[in-house]
Amino acid sequence: MATDSSTLIGKSVRELRALLTSGSVSAREILQDHIQHIERFDPELGAFNCLTTHLAYEQAEKIDALVKKREPLPALAGVPVAIKDNICVPGYPATCSSKILQNFVPPYSATVIERLGASGAIIIGKTNMDEFAMGSSTENSAFAPTHNPWNVKKVPGGSSGGSTVAVAAGFSTLSLGSDTGGSIRQPASFCGVVGMKPTYGVVSRFGLIAFASSLDQIGPLGREVEDVATCLQVISGHDKRDSTSLPFCLPTQSETLASGVKSMRIGIISELSGQGIDDDVRCSLKQAGETLQSLGAVVDEVSLPNSKHALSVYYLIATAEASANLSRYDGVKFGLRNQEADDILSMYFSSRSDGFGAEVKRRIMLGTYALSSGYYDAYYKKAQQVRRLIKQDFDRAFSQFDLLICPTSPTVAFELGAKTADPLQMYLSDIATIPANLAGIPGISIPCGFSQQRLPIGLQLLGPALADSKLLAAAYAFEKATQFHTVTAPVLTASAKH
């Protein structure tokens, strides 16, 4: 039996499957080790809103039964997976880290949860996030902030901060997040892990609590590209319950991951690689370009002239869609309700005032204003027109290049509280990730260096729509040529010494 809590922590999907297949460990032991690790370290980090312990042990028992019968194991058998708390797991809270949903327990399952279950994965818990996925630091949670495992005084990024920390700290092998403007990739950069936003429509959004429906996308996080690719293979595919789901199947990993970058044309986005980028980040980007070149890629600069408008476009479209999506939270059928209100209008007003945090209120008001009579054409319609121009910039770039690269974030992880008083500075954290969501293309962040403070730096790779496999192949080639992904956060290092 695995008695040392560090024995199975930090293992890859491939390693866990090998141990299970050989009979060296059981799925129950894998789960127990990870729960012990969470209990030891998560009080300081705050990655989880709740653990799904009962479900996890049920799933582990099913895998152990398969092993006992010597039946073939599915792709993620025995692998602990953490789930962002805006994805529905039946029987467990789906709070979006908001007071307005703190008692909401969904009666149905998200499609990705069903697919994870069918793959043998063990759902270990629901992770903390910025409220309704609105934020870049996981400080907007109504419950508590999440801390970066590399330095607990730093933010982990957001909004999928809890899911990212769960992976970086070894609480789970994989996790699911959602990415509306960089909410998987930016925290992956801050915490030194791999995070991918698939092409819009490749992964079903059924069971994802909506923020901005034309931008939201569920995606995987892991410590290695191969693990992320395996998870994406499991959760992707058409779903008739999601009207935006595409009839598209990813090729198998064996067909794609090993293809490398030789003869690929890779463009460095000039507008996202110069002014406003920290020196350490710019240096790591330059070295990453040289590494890709040494692997046989042709690397050159490319311009996306309309990317400078992406932030403004995003904060009109996303807030407008949020205003519409969040109108359902009125205290009538589910969620927080003021029981002392005198009439229905005051009940609506007080329930929403008490239930939503400051950032969510700010975005609802911005979106409502942009959609209001007399302003729709000037703001929302104009933003959609510029969104089209941003997409056309990418189309032109991909007619010359196979993939594009830039920093995932202009900075490394910043201090907790450093940007909470200045929303614009916080919004600028996503300046490099937002364009991909507006264009609906896939993006991935992989570790590519460290700052002088020994904080992780992420490289973002972007590809044309449905080129997810090509993106993974390039990320895998870069990972194999470097050692950045092998350097682990202090929490994992402490566990290994335990």
Distance CA 1, CA 161 (A): 32
Q: What DSSP letter does each residue of 252-303 carry, written as one string? A: PHHHHGGG--TT-EEEEEGGGSSTT--HHHHHHHHHHHHHHHHTT-EEEEE-
178 sits in which H/E element: strand 174-178
Half-sphere exposure of 152 (CA within 13 A, CB side): 10
Partners of 51 in the beta sheet?
A: 125
Q: Are strands 265-269 and 298-302 parallel, antiparallel or unpaired?
A: parallel
Measured CA to CA in angstroms, residue 293 lies from 260, 289, 468, 472 at distances of 12, 6, 21, 17
Residue type, position 121, single letter:
A
Q: b vs e for 42-65, b when ≥16 Cβ sit within 10 Å of the residue's Cβ?
A: beebbbbbebbeebbeebbeebbe
Residue type, position 486, single letter:
T
| Catalytic center residues | 84, 159, 183
Handedness of CA 291, 292, 294, 300 (dihedral sign): negative
Partners of 219 in the beta sheet?
A: 177
Residue type, position 472, single letter:
L
Distance CA 278, CA 276 (A): 7
Half-sphere exposure of 172 (CA within 13 A, CB side): 33
Q: What DSSP letter does each residue of 427-485 carry, written as one string? A: HGGGTTTHHHHHHT--EEEEEEEE-TTS-EEEEEEE--TT-HHHHHHHHHHHHHH--GG
| Burial (0-12, 13-18, 19+ Cβ within 10 Å), 454 | exposed
